[in-house]
Structure 1
Amino acid sequence: MTDAWTDRTRRSIMNLCVNSKLGTVFLSSKECLNEAHTSENIFEYVDKCIEEVGPENVVQVVTDNASNNMGASKLLKVKRPTVFWISCATHTINLMLEAIGGLPRYKKTIDEAKKLTVFIYSHHKTLALMRKYTKKRNIVRPGVTSFASAFLTLQSLLDKKSQLRQMFSSEEWVKCKLANKVKGRAAYATVTSPAFWSGVTTCLKVFAPLVKVLRMVDAYWKPSMGFIYGELKRAKKEIINSLNNNKNAYEPIIDIISKKSSNRLDTCLHMTAYILNPYYFYNNPEVRDDLEANDAVLDLIGVLFHKDYPLQTQILSVELPIYKRKQEKFARPIALKASNWWETYGHSTPNLKKIAMRILSLTTSSSGCERN
C-alpha cells in the first residue's frame, strides 16, 4: 500500500506499507526532493519494494484513485502481469457517498444540517445551551472520512431532535440576542421544520448501507476482499428497498455506485474472492447464476498461471467443480461454521486452496498507509 502527499513545509513524501492477515507493517518512506509524484516515480518506488518483499509474496498493490497511481498501475502490469493494482475501497466508497450527497434531494438537507451545526458551535451561548439540553452530548461526531462524519452528525441530530426542539423553544433562547439574528432565525426554522427532519431520515436510510460497507473496508479486524463485492450488491438492494422501489428515486443512486465501482471494486480479483467465499456461494443461489463473477475466476486463473495450461485445466475443470458442487470435505455441515474454512477443508483442492487463502486474506483499503 502506498500514499503520497506534500506536507506543510512543501516537502514531497511517499511511504509504503505491507499488509497481510497479520496486519499492516510500515516498510519505507521516501522524500522526493527533486521529483514530482509522477506515474513513473510511483511505479519505480513500488516496484523496488516488491523486489525487496519478494514478487512471489505480493498479490496486489492498493492505492487511492489518483490519475498518477492509475498510470503507475499500467506500468506495473507490463512488468509484473501477475501482480494486481487495485483502487482503495475506502476512497472509492467515500466518492460514492459524496456524489450521492450532491444530488439535489440530499444536498439541501446536508447543507441545512451543516449550517445548523456551524451556527451552534460558533457561539459560546448556543453551544452551552445545546450541551445543557443534550446533557453535555455533542452533535458533531468524527468519522473515518469527511462524509462519514457528515453521516454520523445527521444521525446524532436525529437522536437529539426533541432536545434541540426544546432548546429552540425555551425561554433562554427567546432571551438570547442571537435569536433575532439572520442565522439565529434560520437555525430556529431548520429545527422546527418537519421537512428538514423528514429529509434527515431519508438521507440516513440511503447512506446507511454504504456507510456500513465503508466501516467494514476501513476496519482492521477482518480482511475485506472476500466481502466487498457481495456487500456492495447487498447495499444496492437495501437502498432500493429504503426508497420503496421507486425507480426515479433510486436509479440516480445506483448509477453513481455502479460508475464509481467500475474497474475499481469489480475487478476479477474482487469477483473471484466473492465466488470463493462460501459465505456467499453456499448461502445465496444468485451467486451461482452470476455469470460475470464466475467468468472472473477464469480470467484470474489465466493471469496467475499464464500459459500454464495443464495447471489452469486442473484448477478450472477438476478442483473448482468440487468446491462449487460442495463435494468431499466441502460437504460437511460443520465446514460452513469454520473460521479458517479453506485451510481446514480445502485439502482436496490444493491449488484452489492456495489461491483462495491468498485472496481472501487481502485488504481492499490503503487507509492504513495514510499520513496519520
Structure 2
Amino acid sequence: MSDGWTDGKSRSLTNFLVNSPNGTVFIKSIDTSGAIKNSMKLFEMLNDIANEIGEENVVQVVTDSASAYVGAGRLLEEKRTKLFWSPCAAHCLDLMLSDIAMDRVKEEIASNLNHVMGRYKCIWEIIDTRWDLQLHRPLHAAAYYLNPMFHYQENFTADTEVKIGLFRTIERMYPDIENRVKVDEQLEKFKKAEGMFGMSMAILTREKKQPALWWESYEEECKELQKLAIRVLSLTCSATWCERNYHVHSKKRNRLEQQ
C-alpha cells in the first residue's frame, strides 16, 4: 500500500508499506515529484515494488484514488493478472463527504433564493458515483460474501454485483480451471453451512472471531476456498496509515530511505 505527502521543500514523496495479518512493515519512501501525475510512471513504480516484494506475495495494491493512480492501477492489473488494485476506501469516503458538503452549500444558496430543489437526490447521486467508480471493487464484494458474520445473517443478500465481484476474484486468484471448480463446490458447503461450517463451534464464533481467524479452522473441509477467504479477509482497505505513521515533520525523516 502507498500514500503520499509533501515535504517542506514542496517535494511529493510516497511511502510504501506491506500489510499482512502479522502487521505492517515500512518498505521505502520515494520522491515522486516527477511522476505523481503520470499514470505510466506510477505504474512502473508500482510494478517495481511488486517485483521487489514478489508477485506471489501480493494480493492487492492500495493507493489513493487520484486519476493518475486509477490509470496506473488499471495498467498494473493488465500486466499482473493475479493481483488487484484498489483505491483507498478512506480517501474515497473523504472525497464523498467533501462533495456532499459542497452540495449542501449549493442547496443553502438555492434556498436563500427561494429556489425549491430536492434535498437528497444530489447527495445520493454523489454517493452512487463514488461507489460505482471507486469503492465497488471485486475484492470488497468477495470480502462481504465470505465474511461469516455477514453471510449467515437473515438479511444477507448476494445480488448480481456481489456475485460478479466474487467470481472475478476467484478467476484472478485461481487462473486454473480445476481449482475454480473446487472453489465453486466448496462455496455450496459454506453457503448451506454443511459439514464443519454447520457445527456448533463454527456457528457460535461467526460473530466473535476475526473473519480470517474463523476461516483458519476449515482447511480440511475446503482447502482452496479457505486459502482464498483468508487472503481476501486479511486485506486492508485503506492506505492512509502510510501517511499518518510516516509523515514526520522533523530531521528524523532523513532516516527513511528515499530515492
Which whole-Å CA distance do the structure 1 matches of 2:32 and 2:160 have between them? 45
Q: For residue 366 of structure 1, what is the aligned residue in structure 2?
A: 239
Residue 251 of structure 1: CA displacement? 3.4
Aligned mate of 2:193, from 326, 333, 337: 326
Map 1:1-372 → 2, pairs under 5 A: 1-32=1-32, 35-37=34-36, 38-104=38-104, 108=108, 248-288=118-158, 290-306=159-175, 308-316=176-184, 318-338=185-205, 339=209, 340-370=213-243, 372=247
Q: 2:13–2:32: 8 Å Cα contact kept in structure 1?
A: yes
Residue 30 of structure 1: CA displacement? 1.7
Query: What is the aligned-residue RMSD (CA, Å)?
Result: 2.2
Which whole-Å CA distance do the structure 2 matches of 1:32 and 1:285 have between them? 46
Task: Using structure 2 for the length normalisation, give the TM-score.
Answer: 0.81
Greater Rg, structure 1 or structure 2?
A: 1
Which whole-Å CA distance do the structure 1 matches of 2:94 and 2:164 have between them? 28
Give 5+ residue unaligned stretches, structure 1.
Answer: 109-247
C-alpha offsets along residues 302-346 of structure 1, whole Å, 9 cap, x if unaligned?
Answer: 22222x112111111x11101001100000132134312101135
C-alpha offsets along residues 116-173 of structure 1, whole Å, 9 cap, x if unaligned?
Answer: xxxxxxxxxxxxxxxxxxxxxxxxxxxxxxxxxxxxxxxxxxxxxxxxxxxxxxxxxx
SS of equivalent residue, structure 1 residue 264: helix
Distance 1:28 1:104, change over 3 A: closer
Q: Sequence identity of aligned pairs in percent?
A: 37
For residue 196 of structure 2, what is the amino acid of its counterpart? K
SS of equivalent residue, structure 2 residue 153: coil
For residue 356 of structure 1, what is the amino acid of its counterpart? A
Task: Using structure 1 for the length normalisation, give the TM-score.
Answer: 0.58
Which whole-Å CA distance do the structure 2 matches of 1:330 and 1:346 have between them? 11
The structure in which a higher percent of residues are helix is: 1
Q: 1:329–1:346: 8 Å Cα contact kept in structure 2?
A: no
Which whole-Å CA distance do the structure 2 matches of 1:12 and 1:45 have between them? 14
C-alpha offsets along residues 231-262 of structure 1, whole Å, 9 cap, x if unaligned?
Answer: xxxxxxxxxxxxxxxxx544333222111111
Give 5+ residue unaligned stretches, structure 2.
Answer: 109-117, 248-259
Which whole-Å CA distance do the structure 2 matches of 1:303 and 1:104 have between them? 41
